[in-house]
A and B are shown apart, each in its own frame.
Chain A
Amino acid sequence: MDVEGVTMMESPGNRNKWRWNTGTRLIAGLVAGAGLGFVVGKAIKHGHPGVQADGADIAAIGLAAFYIGATALLLWIANDRMRLARVLEGKGADIPASDDEVRSFIYQALVMGLAGILLALPVFGARFLADNLLHRQISFGGIVLLFAVQTYFNVRLWRVSDEFVRSTMAKTAALTFAIGQGGLFLRAAAERMSLLKPASSWDLLVIMMQLYIFVGLFVSVRTLDRSSK
Chain B
Amino acid sequence: MQKRGVFHEMKNKLRVQRVERNWNHGELSQRLGVSRQAIHAIEAEKHDPSLELAFKMADLLGMTIEQIFNQGNREPGK
Contacts and interface: CB of A to CB of B under 8 A. Distances in A.
A166 to B, nearest CB: 10
Contacts of A14: none
A164 B34 contact: yes
Looking at chain B, what size class is its interface with the partner chain?
A: 20 to 34
Interface in B26-54: 26-27, 29-30, 33-38, 40-47, 49-50, 53
Interface string B1-32: 00000010001000100110011111101100
Nearest to A95: B26
A5 B19 contact: yes
Contacts of A222: 46
A101 to B, nearest CB: 6
B35 A2 contact: no
Nearest to B45: A229
Contact of A88 (B36, B43, B47): B36
Contact of B37 (A95, A171, A224): A224
Interface of B: 7, 11, 15, 18-19, 22-27, 29-30, 33-38, 40-47, 49-50, 53
25 contacts: A1-B22, A2-B19, A2-B25, A5-B43, A88-B37, A89-B26, A89-B36, A89-B40, A93-B24, A93-B36, A95-B30, A98-B29, A104-B35, A162-B33, A163-B50, A164-B34, A164-B37, A171-B7, A223-B46, A223-B47, A224-B41, A225-B46, A228-B15, A229-B44, A229-B45
Interface of A: 1-3, 5-6, 9, 85, 88-90, 92-95, 98, 100-101, 104, 161-165, 167, 171, 222-229
